Structure 1
Amino acid sequence: MSLKNIPIVYKILIIVGLLSSILIYVGYTGYHSAVTLGAAGQDIDDADGQALRAARMNQTLIALNRSQYRMGMDASQESMATVEKSVAENRALFERSLNDLRSGADPQEQEMLRTVAEGYGALVGNLEATMAKARTQGGVAPTVDQMAVIASVKEGRVLVDQLQQRVRALADHYDQAGTDMARRGQVMADDAKRIMLIGTIAGTLVGVALGMGIGHVGVARPIGAMVDCLQRLAAGDVGFTVFGLGRKDELGAVAETMQVFKSNILRNREMEAAAKEQEQHAAAEKKKAMDELADLFDAKVAGVVKAVSSAAEQLSSTATAMSSIAEETNRQATTVAAAADQTTANVQTVSSAAEQLSSSIGEISQRVGHSSEVSSSAVERARLANEMVRGLASNAERIGRVIELISNIASQTNLLALNATIEAARAGEAGRGFAVVAGEVKTLATQTAKATDEIVAQIAEVQASTRQAVGAIEGIGAVIDELSQISSAIASAVEEQSAATQEIARNVDQAAHGTQDVSRSIAGVTVASAEAGQAASQVLAAASGLGRSSDILRTEVGSFISRVRAA
Structure 2
Amino acid sequence: MSLSNIRIVRKILIIVGLLSAILIYVGYAGYHSAVTLGMAGQDIDDADGQALRASRMNNTLLALNRSQYRVGLDASQESMATVEKSVAESRALFERSLDDLRSSADPQEQEMLRGVADGYAAFMTSLETTMQKARALGAVAPTADQMALITSVKEGRTLVDQLQQRIRALAEHYDKAGTDMAHRGQVMADGAKRTMLIGTAAGTLLGIALGLFIGHVGVARPIAATVDCLQRLAAGDVGFTVFGIGRKDELGAVAETMQVFKTNILRTREMEAAAKEQEQRVAAEKKKAMDELADLFDAKVAGVVQAVSSAAEQLSSTASAMSSIAEETNRQATTVAAAADQTTANVQTVSAAADQLSSSIGEISQRVGHSSEVSSSAVERARLANDMVRGLASNAERIGRVIELISNIASQTNLLALNATIEAARAGDAGRGFAVVAGEVKTLATQTAKATDEIVAQIAEVQASTRQAVGAIEGIGAVIDELSQISSAIASAVEEQSAATQEIARNVDQAAHGTQDVSRSIAGVTVASAEAGQAASLVLAAASGLGRSSDILRTEVGSFISRVRAA
Q: Could you state the TM-score of these two structures normalised by the residue count of structure 1?
A: 0.41
Describe the shift of the 1:5–1:430 C-alpha distance in structure 2 as closer, same or farther (beyond 3 A). Answer: closer
Q: Write the distance in 2 (CA, Å) between the matches of 1:435 and 1:268.
A: 11
Describe the shift of the 1:364–1:214 C-alpha distance in structure 2 as closer, same or farther (beyond 3 A). Answer: farther
> Following superposition of structure 1 onto structure 2, how do residues 175-324 of structure 1 map, counting pairs within 5 Å?
175-227=175-227, 243-256=243-256
- C-alpha deviation, 1:170, in angstroms: 1.1
Q: In structure 2, the residue corresponding to 1:246 is in which secondary structure?
A: coil
Deviations 1:163-184 (A, max 9, x none): 1111001111222233333333
Q: Write the distance in 1 (CA, Å) between the matches of 2:220 and 2:473.
A: 103
Q: Write the distance in 1 (CA, Å) between the matches of 2:321 and 2:59.
A: 142
Deviations 1:360-399 (A, max 9, x none): 9999999999999999999999999999999999999999
Describe the shift of the 1:240–1:82 C-alpha distance in structure 2 as closer, same or farther (beyond 3 A). Answer: same
Describe the shift of the 1:551–1:449 C-alpha distance in structure 2 as closer, same or farther (beyond 3 A). Answer: closer
Q: Write the distance in 2 (CA, Å) between the matches of 1:199 and 1:215.
A: 23
- C-alpha deviation, 1:11, in angstroms: 1.5
Q: In structure 1, the residue corresponding to 2:509 is in which secondary structure?
A: helix
Describe the shift of the 1:74–1:55 C-alpha distance in structure 2 as closer, same or farther (beyond 3 A). Answer: same
Q: In structure 1, the residue corresponding to 2:401 is in which secondary structure?
A: helix
Q: Which residue of 2 aligns with 1:77?
A: 77
- C-alpha deviation, 1:461, in angstroms: 164
Describe the shift of the 1:491–1:7 C-alpha distance in structure 2 as closer, same or farther (beyond 3 A). Answer: same
Deviations 1:462-511 (A, max 9, x none): 99999999999999999999999999999999999999999999999999
Residues 404-413 or 44-53, more deviating: 404-413
Deviations 1:217-266 (A, max 9, x none): 11122233445566788999999876434322233344456678899999
Q: In structure 2, the residue corresponding to 1:141 is in which secondary structure?
A: coil
Residues 113-122 or 335-344, more deviating: 335-344
Q: Which residue of 1 aligns with 2:515?
A: 515
Describe the shift of the 1:228–1:94 C-alpha distance in structure 2 as closer, same or farther (beyond 3 A). Answer: same
Q: In structure 2, the residue corresponding to 1:139 is in which secondary structure?
A: coil
Is this contact kept in 2: 1:133–1:148, CA < 8 A? no
Describe the shift of the 1:274–1:507 C-alpha distance in structure 2 as closer, same or farther (beyond 3 A). Answer: same
Residues 90-99 or 431-440, more deviating: 431-440
Residues 475-484 or 78-87, more deviating: 475-484
Q: In structure 1, the residue corresponding to 2:341 is in which secondary structure?
A: helix
| Aligned-CA RMSD value | 46.4
Q: Write the distance in 2 (CA, Å) between the matches of 1:28 and 1:232.
A: 53
Q: How many pairs are equivalent?
A: 567
The answer as to 2:548 corresponding to 1:548 is yes
Describe the shift of the 1:508–1:243 C-alpha distance in structure 2 as closer, same or farther (beyond 3 A). Answer: farther
Describe the shift of the 1:51–1:267 C-alpha distance in structure 2 as closer, same or farther (beyond 3 A). Answer: same
Residues 167-176 or 520-529, more deviating: 520-529
Is this contact kept in 1: 2:33–2:188, CA < 8 A? yes
Deviations 1:418-438 (A, max 9, x none): 999999999999999999999
Is this contact kept in 2: 1:67–1:87, CA < 8 A? yes
Describe the shift of the 1:505–1:234 C-alpha distance in structure 2 as closer, same or farther (beyond 3 A). Answer: farther
Residues 210-219 or 10-19, more deviating: 10-19
Is this contact kept in 1: 2:465–2:560, CA < 8 A? no
Describe the shift of the 1:405–1:262 C-alpha distance in structure 2 as closer, same or farther (beyond 3 A). Answer: closer
Q: Write the distance in 2 (CA, Å) between the matches of 1:336 and 1:328.
A: 12
Is this contact kept in 2: 1:74–1:140, CA < 8 A? no
Q: Write the distance in 2 (CA, Å) between the matches of 1:425 and 1:556.
A: 54
- C-alpha deviation, 1:344, in angstroms: 176
Residues 35-44 or 310-319, more deviating: 310-319
Describe the shift of the 1:375–1:51 C-alpha distance in structure 2 as closer, same or farther (beyond 3 A). Answer: farther
Describe the shift of the 1:200–1:360 C-alpha distance in structure 2 as closer, same or farther (beyond 3 A). Answer: farther
Q: In structure 1, the residue corresponding to 2:345 is in which secondary structure?
A: helix
Describe the shift of the 1:149–1:406 C-alpha distance in structure 2 as closer, same or farther (beyond 3 A). Answer: farther
- C-alpha deviation, 1:111, in angstroms: 2.5
- C-alpha deviation, 1:403, in angstroms: 169
Which has the higher Rg, Structure 1 or Structure 2?
Answer: 2
Residues 163-172 or 449-458, more deviating: 449-458
- C-alpha deviation, 1:140, in angstroms: 3.3
Q: Write the distance in 1 (CA, Å) between the matches of 2:419 and 2:260.
A: 147
Residues 166-175 or 509-518, more deviating: 509-518
Q: Write the distance in 2 (CA, Å) between the matches of 1:53 and 1:551.
A: 150
Q: In structure 2, the residue corresponding to 1:47 is in which secondary structure?
A: helix
Q: In structure 2, the residue corresponding to 1:344 is in which secondary structure?
A: coil
Is this contact kept in 1: 2:33–2:189, CA < 8 A? yes
Describe the shift of the 1:266–1:303 C-alpha distance in structure 2 as closer, same or farther (beyond 3 A). Answer: farther
- C-alpha deviation, 1:72, in angstroms: 3.3
Describe the shift of the 1:10–1:152 C-alpha distance in structure 2 as closer, same or farther (beyond 3 A). Answer: same
Q: Write the distance in 1 (CA, Å) between the matches of 2:403 and 2:278.
A: 141
Describe the shift of the 1:334–1:273 C-alpha distance in structure 2 as closer, same or farther (beyond 3 A). Answer: farther
Is this contact kept in 1: 2:358–2:502, CA < 8 A? yes
Is this contact kept in 1: 2:483–2:539, CA < 8 A? no
- C-alpha deviation, 1:515, in angstroms: 174
Q: Could you state the TM-score of these two structures normalised by the residue count of structure 2?
A: 0.41
- C-alpha deviation, 1:545, in angstroms: 96
- C-alpha deviation, 1:40, in angstroms: 3.8
Deviations 1:68-102 (A, max 9, x none): 23333443434333332222222122112222323
Deviations 1:283-315 (A, max 9, x none): 999999999999999999999999999999999
Is this contact kept in 1: 2:486–2:539, CA < 8 A? no
Is this contact kept in 1: 2:469–2:556, CA < 8 A? no
Is this contact kept in 2: 1:43–1:181, CA < 8 A? yes
Is this contact kept in 2: 1:362–1:498, CA < 8 A? yes
Q: Write the distance in 2 (CA, Å) between the matches of 1:519 and 1:495.
A: 19
Q: Write the distance in 1 (CA, Å) between the matches of 2:377 and 2:209.
A: 104
Q: Write the distance in 1 (CA, Å) between the matches of 2:275 and 2:416.
A: 156
Q: In structure 2, the residue corresponding to 1:345 is in which secondary structure?
A: coil
Q: Write the distance in 2 (CA, Å) between the matches of 1:422 and 1:265.
A: 16
Q: Which residue of 1 aligns with 2:401?
A: 401
Q: Write the distance in 1 (CA, Å) between the matches of 2:276 and 2:463.
A: 126
Describe the shift of the 1:381–1:19 C-alpha distance in structure 2 as closer, same or farther (beyond 3 A). Answer: closer
Describe the shift of the 1:543–1:507 C-alpha distance in structure 2 as closer, same or farther (beyond 3 A). Answer: closer
Is this contact kept in 1: 2:407–2:449, CA < 8 A? yes
Describe the shift of the 1:492–1:246 C-alpha distance in structure 2 as closer, same or farther (beyond 3 A). Answer: same
> Following superposition of structure 1 onto structure 2, how do residues 306-455 of structure 1 map, counting pairs within 5 Å?
none
Q: Write the distance in 2 (CA, Å) between the matches of 1:282 and 1:424.
A: 30
Is this contact kept in 1: 2:322–2:533, CA < 8 A? yes
Q: In structure 2, the residue corresponding to 1:510 is in which secondary structure?
A: coil
Describe the shift of the 1:206–1:335 C-alpha distance in structure 2 as closer, same or farther (beyond 3 A). Answer: farther
> Following superposition of structure 1 onto structure 2, how do residues 101-116 of structure 1 map, counting pairs within 5 Å?
101-116=101-116
Residues 550-559 or 274-283, more deviating: 550-559
Q: In structure 1, the residue corresponding to 2:513 is in which secondary structure?
A: helix
Q: In structure 2, the residue corresponding to 1:237 is in which secondary structure?
A: coil
Is this contact kept in 1: 2:26–2:196, CA < 8 A? yes
- C-alpha deviation, 1:209, in angstroms: 1.7
Is this contact kept in 2: 1:44–1:178, CA < 8 A? yes
Describe the shift of the 1:154–1:227 C-alpha distance in structure 2 as closer, same or farther (beyond 3 A). Answer: same
Describe the shift of the 1:288–1:402 C-alpha distance in structure 2 as closer, same or farther (beyond 3 A). Answer: closer
Give 5+ residue unaligned stretches, structure 1.
none
Describe the shift of the 1:271–1:462 C-alpha distance in structure 2 as closer, same or farther (beyond 3 A). Answer: closer
Report percent identity of matched pairs. 90
Is this contact kept in 2: 1:344–1:516, CA < 8 A? no
Is this contact kept in 2: 1:15–1:210, CA < 8 A? yes
Give 5+ residue unaligned stretches, structure 2.
none
Describe the shift of the 1:229–1:105 C-alpha distance in structure 2 as closer, same or farther (beyond 3 A). Answer: same
Q: Write the distance in 2 (CA, Å) between the matches of 1:246 and 1:455.
A: 52
Q: Which residue of 2 aligns with 1:160?
A: 160
Is this contact kept in 2: 1:348–1:512, CA < 8 A? no
